[in-house]
Amino acid sequence: VTGLAAHDPLRLLGRQRCVASNLGVIVDLGCAGLEDDDLRLMAPACRAALDAMGALERGSIANPDEGRPVGHYWLRAPDRAPTAAIGSDIRRALQEVDAFAHRVHDGSVCGADGRFDHLVHIGIGGSSLGGQLLCESTSTERDPLVVHFMDNADPDGVTRTLSRLRGALGRTLVSVVSKSGITPTPMHVARAVEAAYARAGLRFAEHAVATTMRGTPLDRRAAADGWLARFPLWDWVGGRTSVTSAVGLVPAAVQGVDIHAFLAGAAAMDALTRTAEPAANPAALLALSWHRLGAGCGRRSMVVLPYRDRLALLPRYVQQLVMESVGKRFDRSGTEVRQGLTVYGNKGTTDQHAYMQQLREGPDDFFVLFVGVHRDAGDPIEIGGSVTLGDYLFASLGGTRDALHDGGRRSITIELTDASPRSLGALIGLLERAVGLYAELIDVNAYHQPSVDKHAAGAAISLQQAAVVLLTEASEPLTAGQIAREIGRPESAEVVFRALERLARLPGRGVVASACEDPAGIRFAVAPSVVGRIEEGDS
């Protein structure tokens, strides 16, 4: 490796840095190991990608598989929407979110027990992660509401959050988010929360809002039951790029985040990254770097390392955004390409004490995306010698990058002046556009997700139900193989076995299993008379 520092380092730095002064964002490729030729050779492809993004912004069917335009950039620049109707829909939705948050804050919308001081946000994947990042990265002790996210079908997680809210449900707002209004997980979780309100003697509808497309089952239910508010979504907003829609804005606005600054940051980054000259376009530089560092096929993983606790969710956000967008079997002409760009990471400096060992010594199969923040949010903490803990944190980032570089490992650095809502908007806009451009470079549809299965549980649950019904009526204990045949699904003996084996370990489910080393020989029973025979040693 010829070190960056070998000759005239600062001139090289100048060529490989893109400073967006108005946004306080720097993209620094000094340690990415790019040659000047890399940018030159990729320039035509990059211009084509920028042209395609321009067409997308004008309303082309950028997601042809689903026959839809892709409109998340309009959300922060409604004047650019392809029709006046879409533009006014966006403006109206934003006004509704804004007005609702104000009414929550001034107490004119309140719960059964008074002013709302908690929000439970129910949504999964793209319906949650952007809002989580925004709320987590900006929260302070002075927020008017504390926001809790329920983003999983885990009963323990639901119970844990509900127990934290014991006695406070009458001051807790619940926001249910599902674009389709039928995704099972948020619907199951919402029912569980609704039941908790009923147990507390409270009317759920008086504490609930919905964010969904017009006319979905969730929308109709919220309308019929008289929920506090319904916020719109549109089919041209994908989950992983929905943070600038009501999906991300409702929890943020309610927590007290300046959503206008957030949207303005994203809009300003969108404007900057329409620049046709790749070297002056930080999104293009990111996309070109990803392409170059991964040889156009994700050969290197991207390790996202924000150096701030408040950005600890950023790697997961980028992971969802990138892997769901570019992890595709086929390119747009239908050729099998098995594309992907693996993303992982947590936070610095913490991770320097963990997997950094492998990054420094192990295989050259990754590059790091460092994210540094110049300013502390609160008062600086002095650690002696006119040095602050913030200086130390930033120096740790630089020292780690330089050590990786000296070992021949690549990195990209994004520096933000602060972690304000405006800067976060700019960062998210930057990443969204980089992903869009990268997908153009590798020719995949970045806007569908044909293999995200929201119903993965369905088949196994049906088999479990059928097996239990059969056993309830059976006169003999049966093996999983026998049960599978009886219910007409002989190929699913294993799924039946796993479900019944688990039920037999749970209290109160009434399933009993015989003792047998070989899974194929284990017999199950539910009917009391048959259970008795197993317990007496039938096998």
Known catalytic residues are 324, 353, 454
Applying CB under 8 A, the span of 75-83, 168-176, 268-276, 478-486 interacting with a second copy comes to 478-486
Nearer Cβ to a second copy, position 79 or 453? 453
Residue 4 CB, shortest distance to a second copy, in Å, is: 7
Q: Which of 34, 53, 110, 158 binds a second copy (CB under 8 A)?
A: 158
Number of residues forming the site for a second copy (CB under 8 A): 152
Nearer Cβ to a second copy, position 26 or 263? 26
Residue 330 CB, shortest distance to a second copy, in Å, is: 8
Residue 229 phi/psi, 5-degree rounding, is -160, 155
Residue 391 CB, shortest distance to a second copy, in Å, is: 6
In whole angstroms, give the CA distance from residue 174 to residue 186. Answer: 12
Q: What share of residues in the chain are helix, strand, coil (percent, to 5)? A: 50, 15, 35
In whole angstroms, give the CA distance from residue 127 to residue 139. Answer: 19
Please list every residue from 220 through 249 that binds a second copy, using CB under 8 A.
Answer: 239-240
Q: Which of 217, 450, 528, 532 binds a second copy (CB under 8 A)?
A: 450
In whole angstroms, give the CA distance from residue 303 to residue 318. Answer: 10
Please list every residue from 360 through 399 that binds a second copy, using CB under 8 A.
Answer: 360-366, 374-381, 383, 385-396, 398-399
Nearer Cβ to a second copy, position 185 or 281? 185
Q: Residue 208 is which amino acid?
A: A
Residue 407 phi/psi, 5-degree rounding, is -90, 10
Please list every residue from 267 through 326 that binds a second copy, using CB under 8 A.
Answer: 297-298, 301, 307-310, 316, 319-320, 323-324, 326
Is there binding between residue 406 and a second copy (CB under 8 A)? no
Applying CB under 8 A, the span of 4-12, 83-91, 112-120, 214-222 interacting with a second copy comes to 4-12
Please list every residue from 113 through 132 that binds a second copy, using CB under 8 A.
Answer: 124-129
Please list every residue from 32 through 91 that binds a second copy, using CB under 8 A.
Answer: none
Residue 449 CB, shortest distance to a second copy, in Å, is: 5
Closest CA to 82 of 108, 55, 104, 112: 55
Residue 71 CB, shortest distance to a second copy, in Å, is: 21
| Residue 501, number of CB atoms within 10 A of its CB | 15
Which run of H or of E encompasses 38? helix 36-57
DSSP conformation class of 327: -
Which run of H or of E encompasses 250? helix 246-255
Is there binding between residue 199 and a second copy (CB under 8 A)? no
Cα torsion 63, 64, 65, 68: sign: positive
Is there binding between residue 168 and a second copy (CB under 8 A)? no
Is there binding between residue 536 and a second copy (CB under 8 A)? no
Contact status, residue 93 vs residue 81, Cβ threshold 8 Å: no
Is there binding between residue 457 and a second copy (CB under 8 A)? yes
Closest CA to 123 of 149, 144, 102, 85: 149
Applying CB under 8 A, the span of 34-42, 151-159, 246-254, 432-440 interacting with a second copy comes to 151-159
x/- mask, a second copy, residues 80-109, rule CB under 8 A, reads ------------------------------
Applying CB under 8 A, the span of 44-52, 92-100, 153-161, 214-222 interacting with a second copy comes to 153-161
Nearer Cβ to a second copy, position 48 or 452? 452
Residue 487 CB, shortest distance to a second copy, in Å, is: 15
Kindly report whether the peptide bond that precedes residue 212 is cis, defined as omega within 30 degrees of 0.
no
Applying CB under 8 A, the span of 85-93, 102-110, 248-256, 473-481 interacting with a second copy comes to 473-481
Contact status, residue 429 vs residue 241, Cβ threshold 8 Å: no
| Residue 399, number of CB atoms within 10 A of its CB | 12
H-helix segments, 414-492: 421-442, 458-473, 480-486
In whole angstroms, give the CA distance from residue 260 to residue 239. Answer: 20
Partners of residue 26 on adjacent β-strands: 19, 415
Is there binding between residue 400 and a second copy (CB under 8 A)? yes
Is there binding between residue 352 and a second copy (CB under 8 A)? yes
Contact status, residue 232 vs residue 251, Cβ threshold 8 Å: no
Applying CB under 8 A, the span of 8-16, 107-115, 197-205, 267-275 interacting with a second copy comes to 8-16
Pairing type for strands 366-373 and 410-416 reads parallel
Is there binding between residue 505 and a second copy (CB under 8 A)? yes
- C-alpha 276, offset from chain centre: 29
Q: Which of 89, 417, 486, 487 binds a second copy (CB under 8 A)?
A: 417
In whole angstroms, give the CA distance from residue 290 to residue 300. Answer: 9
